[in-house]
Each structure stands twice: as C-alpha cells, then as structure tokens.
Structure 1
Amino acid sequence: MSKVILYIAVSIDGYIADDRGAVDWISEQDENAKMEDTFTPFFSGVDTVIMGRKTYNQIVTELSPGQWSYEGATTYVLTRHGETDNAENIRFKNMDVYRLIEASKQESEGKDIWICGGAEVARQLISSNMIDTYHLAVIPVLLGNGIRLFGTTDRKIKLEMVGTKEYNGIIEMVYSRRNI
C-alpha cells in the first residue's frame, strides 16, 4: 500500500517559507561543502505528487521555470479555481485533499504519495493523522516569521525515528507514524 510522505525543508524555527513566501533561504548553505542528493532516491519511490496552487506557481515561476521537475509522477495541484489547464502529468483538482489521497492510493502503482507543499495541505493531513512518514530537512536558519509548517492540532501524533542524516549543516530527520 502506498505511503503518504511529507518530504519538505523547514527552518530551525519551523517555517517552510519566509514572510514573502520565498524559499531561497534553503539553498544558502556553504557552496564549497559537499551536498548529498537525498531527493533522487526518495523520488524514485514516488508516483504521485500532491501540492497546493501556491506551491505549483512558485515551482513554475521561480524554482524551475521552463522545466517540470517531477517528470515520471502524476502531480495533482489542489486549487479552489476550476479544474483547467491539465497537462499530461499535471492535473488541477478542486476537491477535498482526503478524497484525493484515497483516490490516489487506488490509482497508485504501489509507489508512495509525496505531499510536496504547501502548509495548508500539509496541516490538513497532519491534523487528520494521514501522514505516514515525515521527512524533514532542517535548514540551519532562523527565519523569525513566515509560513509555519505545523499549526495546532486537536490530537497528539506519536512518531518513531526511522533515521537521520547530516550534511553541510542540514539535518534530515525521518519519522514514521506509530501505529498504537
């Protein structure tokens, strides 16, 4: 069965974007230090990507304009606007994220579902305890304000450590939901 994975970069103080909505702070590490590619092995296990419209717009206008970074997977963009502009592997959906997750699990070829962003999508799934794996890349920066990853929730969610990795000041932490 496909897992729902939140794979995301976060500042030490819990933000996924600064007060302008920008994420350029993620790549402001030591240019001379060795960076480790943890994304490629992660993405090889994914066949579905889910994101909000703001995240999609940021990807196509700022992060990788002219080239779609997630070829090989079907991307669903959650939007409150009409379901238009569908491309071959990019589908715009005006639907409940929970229903989309359940439909994606049925359509999946057994690979995982990546929650790429944004905060609103992630928070809904976190508060409903629908995230199976939290893969957080903690970037060594304090932003002070911006868009928080974690909001408040009515439940305690217990996790167990799967692994950690450190490189260039970044600490990647992987936790899975404990089934108690």
Structure 2
Amino acid sequence: MRKLKLQMQLSVNGYCAGPNGEMDWLTWNWTDDIKNYVTDINKNVDTIVMGRKLAEGFIPHWTDAAQKPDADEFTHKMVDLPKVVFSKTLTASPWENTVTAGDLVAEIKKLKETDGGDIMTYGGADYASALIKANLVDDYHLFINPAAVGNGLPIFQSLDSKLGLKLVKAQAFEVGIVVLHYQPE
C-alpha cells in the first residue's frame, strides 16, 4: 500500500493560517538544509494530491518557477508529477498533468491501494483535517515556524478522539523552523 505524506506549515501554537487565511507569519527564506529535507521526503513521491484552493496558487507558482533558467530538479519534479486536485466546484482541471477528483476520503483510499510510490499531500485546514479525521495520513511532516498566531485555522479540529502519534524525527533548521516527523501509533 502506498504511503500518504502530509507536509504542512504550522505556527508554534498549531495554526496553518490566520483566521482569514493569513500566511504572512510563514518563514519564506529557506536555507539549503531545509530545502534538502523537503527534497529528501519527496524522493519516493510520484503523485501529489491537494485541495483546489491551494492548487490555484501552488500549480502556477511551480509552473512559473520551472520556466526560469536556474530552475532545479526539484522545481521540475513539482511540475512534472501527476496531481489530483479535490474540488467541489471544478468539473475539469484547468492545469496540465492534473485531474480533479470527487469524494476526498474514497478517492484517497483508492489511490493508496494502487501501485506506485509515495503520495504527498498539501492543503489548507479543512482539507488536511478531513484527511486526518479519516486516518489517511501515514507520515506527518509538520514545519513549525518561529511565530505564534493569536487565532487561526487548526488542522486537528475535526478529530472525534485522541490521535496517537509516534515521533520519528525532530530537526531544527537554520531559518528557525523545526520539522516534526510523526507517524500514527
């Protein structure tokens, strides 16, 4: 069975965005050590899944970055990997190498049962919460940014009961971000 990896940016108090989706608290000036970590966790990834809202910024960002003369291998991978975008409003994908899908939980379960490499997922609070509630995430890579947000959008708010996690690795990076890698118990 394929692994679903969640890569998520969080504040120190557990929010992925401010109450209105603000992300001005994120650390953007990543150093080579954290870039290498992200490259490493994506080595076995052959599919990206995400919500529509994130896709609207993510896909154009990486497509534009790949057009630059200094685009690296990772940038091209982000463009070239097949993507599945979950949307309640799109009936067809406006992006190359991307399909839209219906029911999040059912489609992720089917995708995990197919042959292939790991699946990386990115998304907002509601999207990540739905994956977490359905117990679909096999690896959590939580990027804790050196900022607290007074209020915001959490990703664990939909849990009906305790979610036990086992720490696999904790790593601090030069930019002040700490990555916590967990797996479900």
- Same-fold status (TM-score > 0.5): yes
Cα shift at 1:123: 0.7
Alpha-carbon spacing, 1:24–1:80, altered in 2? closer, same or farther (3 Å): same
Q: 1:159 corresponds to which residue?
A: 165
Q: Is the 8 A contact 2:2 2:114 kept in 1?
A: no
Of 108, 111, 114, the match for 2:120: 114
TM-score w.r.t. length of structure 1: 0.83
Structure 2 Cα separation of the partners of residues 21 and 27 of structure 1: 16
Q: 1:41 corresponds to which residue?
A: 40
Of 79, 84, 89, the match for 1:81: 89
Structure 2 Cα separation of the partners of residues 53 and 10 of structure 1: 20
TM-score w.r.t. length of structure 2: 0.81
Percent sequence identity is 28
Superposed structure 1 runs of 4+ greater than 6 Å apart: none
- Aligned letter for 2:85? V
Write the mapping of 1:1-180 to structure 2, written as runs, cut at 5 A. Answer: 1-27=1-27, 35-37=33-35, 38-60=37-59, 63-64=61-62, 66-67=64-65, 69=75, 70-93=78-101, 95-109=102-116, 111-168=117-174, 169-178=176-185
SS at match of 1:54: helix
SS at match of 1:77: strand
- Aligned letter for 1:85? S
Pairs aligned (count): 173
SS at match of 1:7: strand
* Larger helix share, 1 or 2: 2
Stretches of structure 1 that go unaligned for 5 or more consecutive residues are none
* Larger strand share, 1 or 2: 1
Please provide the CA RMSD for this pair. 2.3
CA displacement, residues 57-90 of structure 1 (integer Å, 9 cap, x when unaligned): 23246x5563475234211111111321354421
